[in-house]
């Protein structure tokens, strides 16, 4: 029943995203309209993929880092991506893929840094160090980024910050294709870790005694979640709250078991982001709001509502 | 080799990296079917380290740890989890769960990567809940349980693994008299009726003496004494190991330790 | 030259009288040199300023235009017009102003664009005993009052007033009839366009082109590609020094905009169009020419 509602909601979100927009395309003409196929459709599909990826990354990370407040962007990836983008613009690298690739590379660099930091204590990945390391790397990257922007001469660099908060306005079928080919790999890696992740909510030692290869799972899920986040930032900038709130909403409605939680999170995150993007496009038309603001405005009250229901039950 | 021996540690020596002295020195331990084996000793005497070496989590520098005749470290984790159920000292639940869900986690060593839970798994969970007398709590959230109830739930999870050996690390800490007695009775019942092998690390010398078949007394990483409770828990041995004068009194055929006050002899 | 000076002096006085009610000026014909700046501060000088640091390219241009260019002792790195300005020592990019570098030029007046960080810098300069004025300069209408007050401060009232008069008349011209429409695209991802509250929008209106986003009150706004496509401008105007289509022009999603598809771009040189300046009238003429050529 819950699944049915979720799927219907998802379909509704995509349909609304296709039908609604400033160009006022009448319903009859939707299927043949260039506006719909070249602009709204890739944007809706990209929104769904990014929202779903961020939500799944959030679920995985919260289990690995053992912190329910973990958001995929807490790991320093957004700082790294911003730095990459700014460097690409400062060096005037040309080509439509220059900025996304540079942002992705920056995020990966941040990932490697934090990953190595996380191993500092010895054998395994220490979740607390991952978290602290992520915050530190993110802050450092942000500082370097600001320094570059303030020292450099191009006004384009100031707009780079806007890109970082830009959202889905750069969506195209090319971006969708790249993400659609890339994202399933880390998604499957996290899905395969569903059972060990369940065990890890008990703690690392109990999980080990119940048969989980804790170190391998931590590594795999952390890297996969980071790759998903890095790709999301590269195509759509920093969209907060989805990776933080959707996992919690999912747990309230679907429970703890990652087997059901992960697919539910993907669908919920995708739906949320597409709805939020449609609102971002229409609420202050002809202007657009940054979609991250809308995800917070929509996601937080929803979460509060569900929280009340759960604590009463 | 006695085929009722499930786990055997022989003369194990282990030192943690960077430590000044060995955590274990030449320690041996055997866990047999149908036997309740208690491990006692003061703080930092190596009890938990022994557990980790015995289960293959740590590699001893000398000596051997074997499970069913194979080296403990060579056992694949999942396979080992189908044989040995461990209730560690600490568990840190990240997210709220219901009792039935958390006990179901004990079935995971039996589940395949992508496969769903089968009716047999749910039956095993129900059985485990029954044996631990927490079936009536099955749909409760675990944060609503009392300390004693929660410990029994954790035991039920270990039993859901359908193990042959049960290992408990200080299960009675912070439990009151009633709940601790209930726990020990429960474990004793499992040993007697289901022929489980049990290794229990505990601080509670007297309860160990009452319920255990064998006692291993550790002191600063080496074995002080090993054998039946009556043989191990003598006044001299206990006073020396725990560095405190005691008197030993008998109750129901078992030695009970009574710590003396300073001005008593 | 003399007759011109008389006529403009008269016109200047007239304009002064008319403009006396306009934005916060207090400008007696002679006497103490004092103006009220746009932060509400009254700045008084004992004598006309002769060592001025200008922290905005537009102010530098204005100072040269009213004949006070030889008094400019410091400029920002962005101040590139007129060419003589480049020979003046730079005090940095001015964002935010480097107070020490400014003070090292020993100015008796610093002219600053009014913004949050600049107010702080102004206070610091005042503490060092250096007179500072803060001016708004965002729209065409702002040019006249700024020019006048700079005229007062430099003792070049006559040329300043006549120049201000020109600016004011330009600002009060009605928009030309506009058969053509355009959009100003400043950035592509996310799409940022120029709105109705801005200098460029005004130039376009005077040149005879309607900004399709004139209805947005703020100077710039983020919109979607779809909105631009829906409003179907005839041209896409970009600030660029070379006549090359921007990188995004080849992307499929941008080709939903007709003007992009047809390659109808207007390239506006940054130094002339990028900021409100005394060359506004020239900018409007150039704009008109570009529109005609692009037909």
Nearest-by-Cβ selection for A287 from C77, C216, C231: C216
- Answer yes or no: is A84 within a domain: yes
Q: What is the DSSP letter of A21?
A: S
Q: Do A210 and B109 touch (CB under 8 A)?
A: yes
Q: Which two tokens stand for residue C286?
A: 């150039």
A286-290, C104-108, C234-238: which has the minimum mean pLDDT?
Answer: A286-290
Give the separation between CA C94 and CA B73, rounded to whole angstroms: 67
Burial class (CB in 10 A: 0-12, 13-18, 19+), C9: middle
Q: Indicate whether C160 and C207 sit together in one domain.
A: no
Distance CA B59, CA A178 (A): 46
Going C108 to C112 to C115 to C117, the CA torsion angle's sign is negative
Residues of C in contact with A287 (CB under 8 A): 216, 221-223
In the predicted structure, residue A90 carries a pLDDT above the cut 70: yes
Q: Is the sign of the CA dihedral A105, A109, A112, A115 positive or negative?
A: negative
- For residue A106, the 8-state DSSP code is H
Q: Which band of pLDDT confidence, cut at 50, 70 and 90, is reported for residue C28?
A: very low
Neighbours of chain C (3+ CB pairs under 8 A): A
Give pLDDT, residue B183: 92
What residues contact residue C6 under an 8 Å CB cut-off, 6+ apart?
none
The pLDDT tens digits of the residues spanning A167-208 come to 788 788 988 999 999 999 999 999 999 999 999 999 989 999
With a CB cutoff of 8 Å and minimum separation 6, the contacts of C177 are C208
Chain A residues touching C229 at Cβ < 8 A: 23, 35, 39
For position A237, what pLDDT does the model report? 84
Q: How many CA atoms lie within 13 A of C230 on its CB side?
A: 19
- Cβ distance C45 to C101 under 8 Å? no
Strand pairing report for B24-32 and C209-211: unpaired
Q: Which domain holds residue A154?
A: 2-16+35-312
A153 — pLDDT class (breaks 50, 70, 90): low
Residues written for chain B: 265
How large is the average pLDDT for residues C41-57?
Answer: 92
Output the pLDDT for position A288: 85
CATH number, domain of C252, equals 3.40.50.1980
pLDDT of residue C24: 42
CB spacing of C222 vs A170 below 8 angstroms: no
For residue A158, name the pLDDT band (cuts at 50, 70, 90): low
Task: Kindly report the number of other CB atoms within 10 A of residue C135's CB atom.
Answer: 21
Contact: B106, A210; criterion CB under 8 Å: yes
Tell me how many degrees the CA angle C130-C131-C132 measures, rounded to the nearest 5.
Answer: 110
Q: How many CB pairs under 8 A join A and B?
A: 68
pLDDT digits (tens, 9 = 90+) for B139-195: 998 889 988 899 999 999 999 999 999 999 999 888 889 989 999 999 999 999 999
Q: Does C17 touch chain A (CB under 8 A)?
A: no
Over 60: is that where the pLDDT of C18 sits? no
**Cβ contact, residue pair A211, B77, below 8 Å:** yes
Asked if C107 and C53 count as a contact pair (C-beta separation under 8 A), the reply is: yes
Tell whether the model's pLDDT for residue B265 goes beyond 90: no
> Can you give the pLDDT at residue A310?
61
Is A102 near chain C, with CB under 8 Å? no
| pLDDT at A93 exceeding the cut of 90 | no
- Residue A39 carries which DSSP code? I
Please say if the pLDDT value at position C202 is more than 50: yes
Please tell me the distance in Å from C117's CA to the nearest CA on chain A: 14
Is C4 a domain residue? Answer: no
Mutate to test the interface with A, among C226, C233, C249, C256 (most CBs of A within 10 A): C226
Residues of chain B with CATH 3.40.50.300: 1-83+164-265
**Mean pLDDT of the A209-238 span:** 91
Alpha carbons B10 and B28: distance in angstroms, whole number: 4
Q: Note if the bond before A286 is cis, omega within 30 degrees.
A: yes
d(CA C276, CA C283): 10
User: Residue A23 has what pLDDT?
Assistant: 76
Are C276 and C190 part of one and the same domain? yes
Q: Could you give the angle at the alpha carbon of C238 between the alpha carbons of C237 and C244, nearest 5°?
A: 110
| Sign of the CA dihedral running B148, B149, B151, B156 | positive
Selection from A267, A118, A259, A123 nearest residue A193 by Cα: A259
Minimal CA separation from A25 to chain C, in Å: 10
The answer to whether residues A244 and A251 touch, using CB atoms and an 8 Å cutoff, is: no
Mutate to test the interface with A, among B97, B122, B166 (most CBs of A within 10 A): B97
Are both C77 and C120 inside the same structural domain?
A: yes
Is B95's CB within 8 Å of A201's CB? yes
Average pLDDT, chain A: 86
Give the whole-number percent of chain A exceeding pLDDT 70.
92
CA C152 to chain CA centroid, Å, is 19
Does C130 touch chain A if contact means CB atoms closer than 8 Å? Answer: no
pLDDT in tens, A95-139: 767 888 888 999 999 989 988 888 876 667 888 888 888 889 989
B1-83+164-265, CATH topology level: Rossmann fold (3.40.50)
- Domain membership of residue A142 (yes or no) is yes
d(CA C165, CA C8): 9
Q: In residues, how long is chain A?
A: 313
Work out whether the CA dihedral C161, C163, C169, C171 comes out positive or negative: negative
Do chains C and A have 3 or more beta-carbon pairs under 8 angstroms? Answer: yes
Per-residue pLDDT at A287: 85
Question: Quick one: three-class SS letters along chain B?
Answer: CCCCEEEEEEEEEECCCCCCCCCEEEEEEEEECCCEEEEECCCCCCHHHHHHHHCCCCCCCEEEEEECCEEHHHCCHHHHHCCEEEECCCCCCCCCCEHHHHHHHHHHHHCCCCCCCCHHHHHHHHHHHHHCCCHHHCCCEHHHCCHHHHHHHHHHHHHHCCCCEEEEECCCCCCCHHHHHHHHHHHHHHHHHHCCEEEEECCCHHHHHHHCCEEEEEECCEEEEEECHHHHCCHHHHHHHHCCCEEEEEECCEEEEEECCCCCC
Residue C212: inside a domain, yes or no? Answer: yes
Q: Is C241 on the interface with A (CB under 8 A)?
A: no
Cα–Cα distance between C186 and C114 in angstroms, integer?
Answer: 23
Q: In the predicted model, what is the mean pLDDT of residues A79-91? A: 85
Chain B residues touching chain A at CB-CB below 8 Å: 55, 57, 77-82, 84-86, 88, 90-97, 101-102, 105-106, 108-109, 111, 113-114, 116, 161
User: Where would I find the H helices in chain A?
Assistant: 2-19, 34, 41-64, 77-90, 98-118, 127-151, 156-164, 173-182, 184-192, 194-200, 204-209, 214-236, 242-254, 258-282, 291-312
Confidence check: pLDDT of C27 > 70:
no
* Among C residues 189-208, those touching chain A with beta carbons less than 8 Å apart: 189-192
Mean pLDDT of C32-55: 91
**Domain end among C143, C172, C201:** C172
Give per-residue pLDDT as tens, C133-144: 999 999 999 999
Residue C5 in domain: no
Mark whether C110 and C213 lie in a shared domain: no
- Hey, of A65, A66, A202, A203, which one would you mutate to test binding to chain B, going by the most B CBs within 10 A of its CB? A202
The answer to whether the Cβ–Cβ distance between B109 and A203 falls below 8 Å is no
Structural domain that includes position C239: 180-294
Per the structure, the count of domains in chain A is 1
ipTM: 0.89
Q: Is the peptide bond before C82 cis (omega within 30 degrees of 0)?
A: yes
Give me the pLDDT at residue A123, please.
Answer: 67
Task: Tell whether C225 and C252 lie within a shared domain.
Answer: yes
- Tell me which of C172, C192, C220 is where a domain ends: C172
Say if residues A214 and A198 touch (Cβ distance below 8 Å). Answer: no
- Do the bridges between strand B222-227 and strand B70-71 make them parallel or antiparallel, or are there none, so unpaired? unpaired
| Residue among C8, C277, C247 at smallest CA distance from C140 | C277
Residue A152 has pLDDT above 70, yes or no: no
Domain match, C23 and C48 both: yes
Neighbours of chain A (3+ CB pairs under 8 A): B, C
Q: Is omega for the bond preceding C190 within 30 degrees of 0, making it cis?
A: yes
Give me the half-sphere count of Cα atoms (radius 13 Å) on the Cβ side of residue A2: 14
Distance from C-alpha of C285 to C-alpha of C176, rounded to nearest angstrom? 12
Instruction: Assess C232–A contact: CB distance below 8 Å, yes or no.
Output: no
Q: Return the pLDDT at A121.
A: 64
A-to-C residue pairs, Cβ atoms closer than 8 angstroms = 89
Q: What is residue B79's predicted lDDT score, i.e. its pLDDT? A: 94
Query: Using CA atoms, how far apart are residues C115 and C121, in angstroms rounded to an integer?
Result: 10
Query: From CA B232, how far away is CA A88, in angstroms rounded?
Result: 74
> Å from A284 to nearest chain C CA?
10
HEC profile of chain C = CHHHHHHHHHHHHHHHHHHCCCCCCCCCCCCCEEEECCCCCEEEECCCCCCEEECCHHHHHHHHHCCCHHHEEEECCCCCCCHHHHHCCECCCCCCCCHHHHHHCCCCEEEEECCHHHHHHHHHHHHCCCCEEEECCCCHHHHHHHHHHHHHHHCCHHHHHHHHHHHHHHHHCCCCCCCEEEEEEEEECCEEEECCCCHHHHHHHHHCEEECCCCCCCCEEECCHHHHHHHCCCEEEEECCCCCCCHHHHCHHHHHCHHHHCCCEEEECHHHHCCCCCCHHHHHHHHHHHHHHHC
**Chain B residues with CB inside 8 Å of A124's CB?**
none
Cβ neighbours of residue C252 under 8 Å, at least 6 residues apart?
A38, A172, A173, A174
What distance in Å separates residue A152's CA from the closest CA in chain C? Answer: 10
Asked if residue C61 is part of any domain, the answer here is yes
Q: Is A128 in the B-facing interface, judged by CB distances under 8 Å?
A: no
Using a threshold of 3 CB pairs under 8 A, tell whether chains C and B touch.
no
Contact B243, B223 (CB under 8 A): no
How far is B157 from chain A, CA to nearest CA, in Å?
A: 10
pLDDT, position A6: 94
For tokens 């029994």, the residue is B152
Give residue C128's Cα distance to chain centre.
29
Dihedral angle over CA of B72, B75, B79, B85, nearest 10: 20
In DSSP terms, A20 is beta-bridged to none
Q: Is residue A26 part of a domain?
A: no
In a domain, C210, yes or no: yes
Any CB–CB contact under 8 A between C22 and chain A?
A: no
Domain shared by C96 and C23, yes or no: yes
Pairing of the two strands B24-32 and B214-219 = unpaired
Asked if A219 has any chain B CB less than 8 Å from its own CB, the reply is no
**From B90, B102, B111, residue closest to A203, measured CB to CB:** B90
Task: Retrieve residue C4's tokens.
Answer: 């011109």
Q: How many Å apart are CA C67 and CA C89, to the nearest integer?
A: 19
Q: Extract the tokens encoding C179.
A: 């058969």
Q: Which long-range contacts (CB under 8 A, 24 or more apart) does C122-129 make?
A: C122/C39, C124/C99, C125/C99, C128/C99, C128/C103
Is the CB of residue C67 less than 8 Å from the CB of residue C8? no
Per-residue pLDDT reduced to its tens digit, A275-311? 999 998 888 878 888 888 888 787 778 778 777 766 6
CATH number of the domain where residue A108 is located: 1.10.3470.10
By Cβ distance, the residue of B90, B95, B113 closest to A68 is: B95
Average pLDDT, chain C: 86
Q: Which of C148, C172, C196 is the last residue of a domain?
A: C172
Residue numbers of C between 93 and 112 with CB closer than 8 Å to A: 93, 95
Say yes or no for a CB contact (<8 Å) between A213 and B77. Answer: yes
In a domain, A25, yes or no: no
Q: CA angle, corner A185, sides to A139 and A142, nearest 5?
A: 10
A163 phi, psi to nearest 5 deg: -60, -40
Say how many domains are in chain C. Answer: 2
Distance in angstroms (rounded) separating the CA atoms of residues C234 and C179? 10
pLDDT tens figures, A19-69: 888 777 787 777 777 778 888 899 999 999 999 999 999 999 999 988 887
Higher pLDDT, C136 or C5: C136
Number of alpha carbons in the 13 Å side-chain half-sphere of residue C235: 24
Which sign, positive or negative, has the C-alpha torsion C81, C83, C88, C92?
Answer: positive
The answer to whether the Cβ–Cβ distance between B91 and A206 falls below 8 Å is yes
The percentage of residues in chain B with a pLDDT greater than 90, rounded to a whole number, is 79
Choose the mutation target among C190, C192, C212 for the interface with A, i.e. most A CBs under 10 Å. Answer: C190
Is the CB of residue A255 less than 8 Å away from at least one CB of chain B?
yes
């Amino acid at each position: 029943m819950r699944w049915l509602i979720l799927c219907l909601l998802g379909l509704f979100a995509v349909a609304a995203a296709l039908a609604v927009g400033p160009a006022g395309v009448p319903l009859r003409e939707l299927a043949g309209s260039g506006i719909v196929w070249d602009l709204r459709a890739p944007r809706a599909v990209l929104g769904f993929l990014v929202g779903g990826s961020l939500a799944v990354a959030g679920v995985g990370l919260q289990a690995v880092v053992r912190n329910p407040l973990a958001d995929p962007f807490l790991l320093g990836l957004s700082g790294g991506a911003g730095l990459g983008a700014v460097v690409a613009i400062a060096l005037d690298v040309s080509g439509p893929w220059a900025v996304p690739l540079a942002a992705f590379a920056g995020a990966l660099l941040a990932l490697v840094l934090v990953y190595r930091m996380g191993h500092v204590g010895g054998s395994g990945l220490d979740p607390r160090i991952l978290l602290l390391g992520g915050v530190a790397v993110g802050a450092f990257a942000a500082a370097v980024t600001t320094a570059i922007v303030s020292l450099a001469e191009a006004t384009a660099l100031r707009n780079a910050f806007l890109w970082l908060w830009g959202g889905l306005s750069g969506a195209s079928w090319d971006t969708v294709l790249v993400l659609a080919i890339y994202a399933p790999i880390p998604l499957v890696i996290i899905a395969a870790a569903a059972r060990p992740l369940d065990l890890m909510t008990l703690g690392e030692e109990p999980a080990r005694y119940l048969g989980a290869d804790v170190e391998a799972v931590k590594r795999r899920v952390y890297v996969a979640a980071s790759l998903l986040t890095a790709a999301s930032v590269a195509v759509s900038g920093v969209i907060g709250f989805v990776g933080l709130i959707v996992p919690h909403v999912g747990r309230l409605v679907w429970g703890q078991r990652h087997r059901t939680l992960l697919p539910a999170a993907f669908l919920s995150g995708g739906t949320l982001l597409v709805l939020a993007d449609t609102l971002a496009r229409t609420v202050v038309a002809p202007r657009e709001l940054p979609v991250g603001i809308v995800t917070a405005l929509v996601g937080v009250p929803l979460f509060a509502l569900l929280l009340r229901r759960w604590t009463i039950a | 080799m006695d085929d009722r021996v499930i786990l055997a540690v022989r003369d194990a020596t282990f030192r943690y990296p960077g430590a000044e002295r060995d955590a274990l020195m030449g320690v041996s331990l055997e866990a047999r079917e149908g036997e309740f084996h208690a491990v006692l000793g003061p703080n930092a005497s190596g009890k938990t380290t022994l557990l980790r070496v015995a289960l293959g989590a740590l590699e001893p520098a000398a000596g051997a740890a074997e499970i069913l005749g194979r080296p403990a470290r060579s056992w694949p984790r999942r396979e080992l989890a189908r044989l040995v159920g461990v209730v560690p000292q600490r568990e840190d639940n990240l997210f709220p769960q219901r009792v039935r869900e958390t006990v179901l986690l004990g079935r995971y060593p039996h589940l395949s990567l992508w496969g769903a839970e089968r009716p047999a798994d749910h039956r095993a969970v129900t059985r485990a809940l029954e044996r631990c007398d927490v079936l009536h709590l099955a749909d409760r959230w675990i944060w609503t349980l009392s300390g004693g109830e929660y410990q029994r739930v954790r035991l039920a999870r270990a039993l859901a693994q359908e193990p042959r050996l049960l290992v408990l690390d200080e299960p009675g800490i912070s439990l009151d008299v009633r709940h601790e007695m209930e726990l020990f009775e429960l474990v004793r019942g499992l040993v007697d009726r289901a022929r489980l092998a049990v290794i229990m690390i505990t601080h509670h010398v007297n309860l160990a003496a009452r319920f255990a078949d064998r006692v291993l007394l550790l002191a600063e990483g080496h074995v002080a004494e090993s054998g039946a409770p009556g043989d191990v828990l003598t006044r001299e041995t206990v006073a020396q190991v725990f560095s405190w004068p005691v008197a030993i009194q008998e109750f129901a055929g078992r030695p009970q330790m009574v710590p003396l006050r300073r001005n008593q002899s | 030259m003399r007759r011109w000076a008389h006529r403009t002096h008269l016109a200047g006085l007239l304009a002064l009288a008319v403009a006396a009610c306009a934005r916060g000026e207090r400008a007696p014909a002679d006497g103490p040199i004092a103006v009220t700046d746009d932060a509400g501060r009254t700045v008084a000088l004992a004598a006309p300023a002769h060592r001025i640091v200008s922290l905005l390219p537009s102010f530098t241009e204005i100072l040269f235009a009213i004949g006070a260019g030889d008094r400019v002792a410091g400029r920002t790195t962005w101040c590139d017009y007129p060419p003589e300005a480049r020979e003046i020592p730079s005090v940095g990019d001015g964002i935010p102003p480097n107070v020490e570098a400014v003070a090292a030029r020993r100015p008796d007046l610093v002219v600053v664009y009014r913004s949050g960080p600049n107010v702080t810098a102004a206070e610091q300069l005042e503490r060092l005993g250096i007179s500072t004025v803060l001016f708004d300069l965002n729209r065409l209408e702002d040019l006249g009052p700024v020019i006048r007050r700079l005229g007062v401060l430099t003792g070049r009232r006559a040329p300043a007033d006549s120049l201000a008069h020109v600016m004011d008349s330009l600002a009060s011209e009605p928009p030309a009839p506009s058969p053509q429409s355009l959009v100003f695209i400043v950035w592509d991802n996310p799409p940022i366009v120029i709105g109705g509250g801005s200098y460029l929008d005004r130039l376009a209106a005077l040149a005879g082109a309607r900004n399709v986003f004139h209805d947005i009150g703020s100077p710039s706004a983020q919109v979607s590609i779809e909105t631009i496509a829906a409003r179907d401008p005839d041209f896409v105007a970009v600030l660029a020094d070379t006549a090359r289509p921007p990188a995004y022009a080849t992307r499929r999603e941008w080709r939903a905009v007709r003007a992009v598809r047809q390659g109808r771009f207007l390239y506006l040189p940054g130094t002339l169009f990028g900021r409100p300046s005394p060359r506004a009238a020239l900018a409007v003429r150039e704009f008109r020419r570009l529109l005609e050529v692009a037909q």
